[in-house]
Amino acid sequence: MDLHHPILREFPEYRETIRQLRASSDHFRSLFDEYHRLDDEIYRIEEEIDFATDQEIEELKMRRAKLKDCIYHVIRHAPQPAVCELQA
């Protein structure tokens, strides 16, 4: 079982929007970086590399979930990249 939950795997359909937001928005980049820092911390605890109490791990998971919701909100309200489809 893969314990990591990277944003690009969580929202693959928004890969280009995420890339653009990371390049252009300090706020989004901060949310993105904090989410991945928490995801790594949770992974290390679940793999018993680091230790935390049950309450601490639940608080970390709640914080990660809230960050994920916030990131999704920013992604959904960002201007979508233009897509050019050529007819064959």
pTM, entire model: 0.84
Report, as an integer, the average pLDDT of 7-26. 94
Residue 82: the pLDDT is: 59
DSSP state of 47: T
pLDDT tens-digit readout, 20-48? 999 999 999 999 999 999 999 999 999 99
Higher-pLDDT residue of 56, 81: 56
Distance CA 52, CA 37 (A): 16
